[in-house]
Amino acid sequence: MQKPIVVVGGTGKTGGRVAERLAARGLPTRPASRRTGFDWTDRTSWAPALDGAEAAYITYYPDLAAKGAADTVGDFVTLAVSLGVRRLVLLSGRGEPEAQASEQRLIASGADWTVVRASWFNQNFDEGQLAPMILGGKLALPVSAVREPFIDADDIADVVVAALTEPHHIGELYEVTGPRLLTFAEAVEAINQASGLAVQFQTVSAQDFVEGLEAGEVPGEVIELLEELFTVVLDGRNATLTDGVQRALRRPARDFADYARAAAARGAWRPA
């Protein structure tokens, strides 16, 4: 592959990892993010990011669950195919109708497609919106006993790189999860055991959750998305395990406890 591979969201949790892996293989890689002039809300920035590329990994900001995401992603995919970028890999979300609508736009586009449909990332606890709560000693969320098969961003990146570089992944939908189901309280306990912290988990109302995010000056579109994910998507619909990582990579997915130990070892939850 001589033409570049575009990594949309090339500085994000999965995009950054995908870009690093592709570059380590010596493959020409083109990260596309606001740092490079790409913006999902500025359609004039799309074609320059795709021009002359061979393939693209597509992640959508703020999330495919956001209203209108399917139309935006569908238009981006149509443009990519028209510019000769036929190999497209989409990061999607489990149990999210808008995300699955985006998948259908990709599948109908004529591209050589792969969908990686993921559950909640492990890295949300140390790289995302939950990290400040962990550092503050209390994770207060509008969720209680629902179990989630947390997936590691490194596993997602490995699946995506395989899909971008190996032809037998074309036309595959990989639904990826971790190897076991955990409540958020159990995830916090695993972090405590690995890090020596004493983070408390507390179930709060959706209103209190939103007010806490607003007090922390979290952007409004992110607050709206998180509220929907916690109060709608986290209703038990995703409390099942899948074999997507095993099918794609011929190895098991990484366990949350292993993630927590590795994150703690590199100082992920030490105060700055």
DSSP letters, the chain, are: --SPEEEETTTSTTHHHHHHHHHHTT--EEEESGGGT--TT-GGGHHHHHTT-SEEEE--SS-TTSTTHHHHHHHHHHHHHHTT--EEEEEEETT-HHHHHHHHHHHTTTSEEEEEEE--BGGGGTTSTTHHHHHHTEEEES--S--B--B-HHHHHHHHHHHHH-GGGTTEEEEE--SS-B-HHHHHHHHHHHH----EEEE--HHHHHHHHHHTT--HHHHHHHHHIIIII-SSTT-S---HHHHHHSSPPPPHHHHHHHHHHTTTTS--
Per the CB < 8 A criterion, the answer to whether 97 and 129 are in contact is no
pLDDT at residue 198 in the model: 97
pLDDT at residue 142 in the model: 95
**What homologous superfamily does CATH list for 5-121+151-178+239-253?**
NAD(P)-binding Rossmann-like Domain (3.40.50.720)
CA dist., res. 186 & res. 192, Å (int): 10
- Could you list the pLDDT tens digit for every one of the 272 residues in the chain? 589 999 999 999 999 999 999 999 999 999 999 999 999 999 999 999 999 999 999 999 989 988 899 999 999 999 999 999 999 999 999 999 999 999 999 999 999 999 999 999 999 999 988 999 999 999 999 998 999 999 999 999 999 999 999 999 999 999 999 999 999 999 999 999 999 999 999 999 999 999 988 888 888 888 888 888 888 889 999 999 999 999 999 999 999 999 999 999 999 999 87
Q: Identify which of 55, 259, 228, 229 has the alpha carbon closest to the alpha carbon of residue 156.
A: 259
pLDDT at residue 1 in the model: 55
pLDDT at residue 73 in the model: 98
pLDDT at residue 223 in the model: 87
Per the CB < 8 A criterion, the answer to whether 65 and 98 are in contact is yes
Tokens of 174: 């990989």
Domain ranges of the chain: 5-121+151-178+239-253
Per the CB < 8 A criterion, the answer to whether 34 and 55 are in contact is no
Report the C-alpha dihedral over residues 229, 116, 238, 11, rounded to 10 degrees. -40
Instruction: Find residue 118's DSSP bridge partners.
Output: 93, 176
